[in-house]
Amino acid sequence: MDEHAGDLGPVTRPEPDPGEPIVGRDAELARLSHAADPASADRVLMLVGDLGTGKSALLRHTMRRAEAGGARVLHAEGSESESDLAFAALHQLLRPVLAEADGLPDRQRAVLLDAFGMGPDTLRHSGTPEPMLIGVAVLSLLSAVSDDRSVLVVLDDAQWFDRASLSALSFAVRRLEGEPVTTLIGVRGGAPLPGFDRHVPALTLGPLDDASADRLLDLQPESPTGRVRARILDQAGGNPLALVELTRAVTAHDAATGMPPAGPLPLTDHLEQIFAARLNGLPPATTRALLLLAAMDSADSAIAVSAGLPNAEDETWLPAEQAALIRRAGRDVRFRHPLIRSAVYHAASLGAQREAHLALAEMLRDEPDRRAWHLAAASPGPAAAVSAELRRTADRARRRGGHAAAAKALQRAAELTPRREESARLLVEAAEAAVFTGDLPWVEELVAAARARTDDRALLVSAAVQAGRLAVLTGRHSTVFSRLTDLAEELATSQPAVALDLLAGATVVRFYSGEDAQRHRVQDLLRRLPEDAAHAGLRTWVRVVSDPFDDRAGSLRLLARSAADAEARPEQLTTVGILAWLLDETPQAVRAFDEAFDRWRLQGQLPEGLGGAVGWAYVERGRWDQAREACARTTAIGWAAGLDHAVACAATVDAIVLAYQGDAEAARARAEDALTLVDPLESRSVAVYARRALGAAAAAEGAYDTAYDRLRMVFTADGAPVHYHASYPALADLAAAAVRCGRREEARLIVERSARALGENASPRLRALISRARGLLADPEDAEPYFRAALADPALEHWPFERAQSLLDLAEWLRRRRRIAEARVPLAEALETFRRLGARPWIERARAESRAAGLAVTDSAPDALAELSPQQQQIIRLAARGLTNREIGEKLFLSPRTVGSHLYRSFPKLGITARSQLRDLIEGTLATAGRRE
């Protein structure tokens, strides 16, 4: 597929000389060449342009230069028809290196081959693969391929890549930092590219300037002059392809397809006419081969061979090559531009088009998915047998994780089935598959189409539930909440179980939005629904999620029942974990999440509703590495499905951990990422979490005025919480910042208002945080009882960072009261906890306070560990547990080489030379750190 006119030679020389200059694109070529250089910091670059601006030619030029420089080039071109075939583009890209997949871990190799339909039958029929494992396999394979030389990955016409391939590639490409792998992506301007839309630098190809356009015309075999030249320049508008093709049309003196007699035609229509004119006079065999190639629309030469088209050396192609319709290179026969394919296809009659698709279907009996789509293209009306073929295609796509491909096949099957009720059922099934793509408008389109075909109440309700399931995960909180609650109200009498299910989804939206009016709406609807023992768990969910601090004692009893139910139904463990986290029963939440991970590895294709609870529970419990692992997973799934809100939730958890670990710059970047992904007024929960992280980052740097300003935004102007659950844990940090920047009285009013609002429903954890805040804000002679209260309950050890902060506050207060001997015990305990967590800023504070208290503080290995970046610390701890680089890579979604690079850079900082020393370093020194202090 050719897009650069400078790469379209004269009719008698269709394949350009590799050294032929590309006109007017010197800056773009330089940028691409720089990106393709292994020494460049650019690891991915998107080349964006309209039809005919030269994307393909520039990419091919860069590929030739990279190959000449010794790089390995992997190349795939998208094709419109294959966008419906799961993993077709990925297979095309990786086919040359699939032999090297033998070196991958067994699970990765199996899931990759299975995605391409090459795995054992047992794998192909064992259900949907783990969502991110295919991406990990692609990452590992590209890393392995780059072991001996740099790799250039070129994805051309990526707007036509199938969604499954885009998900796997975007996952891998974002994690190739530090690898000698560069990715260049050619994409049509204005076409969104799932997974690559954010944070990918783009190089946009605009029109050629006047001087370059003139030069390109001068390079043509018969350069136009005078008024003809002026009209060509005017109509082409700087589009290189148009400049060359209009010149060719005029040169051929073809009045029917040359310059229009008056006024310009739409450029693409005009160019299609120009290309179609070249079909005149071609031999019938050539015309038929061109139509088959156009109907097939595959950029994969292996598929062309299997479809029975003449091979590239066959003389059948020569007339088309001489007419500059195709180009031949090795085994490949390609149209020189997508418009040529379109012109060839649409120049044929409808009957000829159908015959071509039927012929391809017959040739592709060993390619059942492609065969099904060709049969569908050949069907002018309903065709039950073809509809059944497409349903089987959808089943195969789903088993390989190709949900978009499955939904498209089901949608087309619905169009072809002769029965309206069956059509509606297939559309609902398509919506169920499309949910996993994250494309809510498409899901809603499918649901609307189903609604137009049936009056079946159960089917329509099922469709609405599917749309609601996805809608809950988006950021359209006000709209989604109204839609779900209105439908729940409508179904409350006739189908109360479905209404309760919809209300449960609406309650998640209520949590994200934090809108208080929604709580009243939820509670009103819940009262209207009959109580049913079979659905007690859902009622508990609605009640606790909508307001965890309303009758906490009663909610704890409901939690106990839900936990008992989960013993018989372990799929409910995640639900129990979320409810426990909301009620500040963090130890129980973490146990439930641990068991859920052990049982299923959380293999769902979408984040759970309130999935951020997993990360926050691990943060509160002091298991920060696992919190970041959970965030990495949610981020990967969220990006792949286009669910910005899920990505934002994960980013806030990541940000708070980074802030606690002292990487303030990275913490700010992640928090700002979260705020740009959502509307803070629509998603108060994300806004509050992000601002808590920004406050923690500022406090870590000692910028207490900034910290206070950020944390003050977690409460309204009159001191009420912005979010009914997320704001309260910030009270103690707000007080700590207020004391250091002279805002004590304002903070005291906020703390006391929150204490009154919570009353007896405050959890032991929140009571401890309020006590700590009161101690910080109190007059010095009145502070001790509050600090003691913040530490009184032994259960508070389950929140180690918060407890260590309280211990440090008490120790500082004691030392300032000259009770130095008493200060040493809480100081030593706080320092040990901060060391274990890797909370670098708090380690330094505790060390300084310890010296002031006369303690002999010595450097130790854990302090050396604290000098590493948070990601390096994660990798070191996993390596100390005995995990290999590949196993660490699977957990953190990194390539094995990236893991190895982090380890290599970390060892000198830790003063060790071998991996075998890590366990002693991490465990042994931590065990003795407290005694030394």
* Residue 542, in any domain of the structure: no
- pLDDT, greater one: 810 or 341: 810
Lowest mean pLDDT segment, chosen from 626-635, 679-688, 757-766, 767-776: 626-635
Distance CA 887, CA 890 (A): 5
The Cβ of residue 261 has, within 10 Å, a number of other Cβ atoms equal to 6
- pLDDT, greater one: 694 or 875: 694
Distance CA 729, CA 766 (A): 7
Map tokens 């929150």 to a residue: 754
* Residue 728, in any domain of the structure: yes
Q: Among residues 236, 254, 270, which one ends one of the domains?
A: 270
Which whole number is the average pLDDT over 919-928? 61
pLDDT recorded at residue 307: 61
* Residue 682, in any domain of the structure: no
Per residue in 414-448, pLDDT (tens digit) is 999 999 999 999 999 999 888 888 888 899 999 99
User: In terms of domains, do 734 and 867 share one?
Assistant: no
SS3 865: helix
User: In terms of domains, do 87 and 225 share one?
Assistant: no
Which whole number is the average pLDDT over 855-884? 73
pLDDT recorded at residue 150: 92
Per residue in 495-534, pLDDT (tens digit) is 999 999 999 999 999 999 999 999 999 999 999 999 887 7
Domain coverage including residue 887: 858-933
Does residue 323 carry a pLDDT above 80?
yes
Number of domains in the chain: 7
pLDDT recorded at residue 843: 92
User: In terms of domains, do 58 and 184 share one?
Assistant: yes
Distance CA 808, CA 827 (A): 6
Mean pLDDT taken over the chain: 86
Does residue 695 carry a pLDDT above 90?
yes
**What DSSP character marks residue 857?**
-
CB 240 within 8 A of CB 216: yes
CB 152 within 8 A of CB 184: yes
- pLDDT, greater one: 177 or 160: 160
**What DSSP character marks residue 366?**
T
**Beta-strand pair 326-329/332-335:** antiparallel
pLDDT recorded at residue 247: 84
Burial class of 502 by CB neighbour count within 10 A (0 to 12, 13 to 18, 19+) = buried
User: In terms of domains, do 156 and 227 share one?
Assistant: no
pLDDT category, 14, cuts 50, 70, 90? Answer: very low
Per residue in 373-385, pLDDT (tens digit) is 999 999 999 999 9
Which whole number is the average pLDDT over 626-640? 84
pLDDT recorded at residue 9: 34
User: In terms of domains, do 255 and 197 share one?
Assistant: no
* Residue 395, in any domain of the structure: yes
Q: Among residues 419, 442, 471, which one ends one of the domains?
A: 471
- pLDDT, greater one: 886 or 714: 714
User: In terms of domains, do 38 and 126 share one?
Assistant: yes
Burial class of 230 by CB neighbour count within 10 A (0 to 12, 13 to 18, 19+) = exposed
pLDDT recorded at residue 235: 80
Q: Among residues 301, 318, 348, which one ends one of the domains?
A: 348
User: In terms of domains, do 356 and 419 share one?
Assistant: yes
* Residue 614, in any domain of the structure: no
Say how far residue 196 (Cα) sits from the centre of its chain. 9
- pLDDT, greater one: 700 or 891: 700
> Cβ neighbours of residue 321 under 8 Å, at least 6 residues apart?
14, 327, 328
List the alpha helices (DSSP H) in 69-105. 88-94
pLDDT recorded at residue 232: 85
pLDDT recorded at residue 288: 92
Tell me the CATH number at 933.
Answer: 1.10.10.10
User: In terms of domains, do 118 and 172 share one?
Assistant: yes
pLDDT recorded at residue 15: 38
Tell me the CATH number at 435.
Answer: 1.25.40
Give the 3-state secondary structure of 728-793: HHHHHHHHHHHHHHCCHHHHHHHHHHHHHHHHHHCCHHHHHHHHHHHHHHCCHHHCHHHHHHHHHC
Name residue 156's beta-bridge partners.
Answer: 77
* Residue 430, in any domain of the structure: yes
Distance CA 71, CA 879 (A): 32
Burial class of 568 by CB neighbour count within 10 A (0 to 12, 13 to 18, 19+) = exposed
Distance CA 342, CA 337 (A): 9
Which whole number is the average pLDDT over 455-483? 85
User: In terms of domains, do 247 and 125 share one?
Assistant: no
CB 162 within 8 A of CB 155: no
* Residue 354, in any domain of the structure: yes
What are the C-alpha distances in Å from 232 to residues 224, 225, 229, 246, 430? 8, 10, 5, 6, 47
User: In terms of domains, do 172 and 147 share one?
Assistant: yes
Per residue in 74-118, pLDDT (tens digit) is 999 998 878 889 999 999 999 999 999 998 888 888 889 888 888
Please tell me which of 246-250, 300-304, 440-444 the model is most confident about, judged by mean pLDDT: 440-444
Which of 668, 649, 781, 826 has the alpha carbon at shortest distance from 723?
A: 649
pLDDT recorded at residue 120: 61
Per residue in 552-570, pLDDT (tens digit) is 999 999 999 999 988 878 7
* Residue 426, in any domain of the structure: yes
- pLDDT, greater one: 465 or 65: 65
What are the C-alpha distances in Å from 5 to residues 27, 56, 214? 17, 10, 13
pLDDT category, 1, cuts 50, 70, 90? Answer: very low
Indicate the length of the chain as a whole number: 933
Tell me the CATH number at 85.
Answer: 3.40.50.300
- pLDDT, greater one: 19 or 629: 629
User: In terms of domains, do 155 and 59 share one?
Assistant: yes
User: In terms of domains, do 264 and 371 share one?
Assistant: no
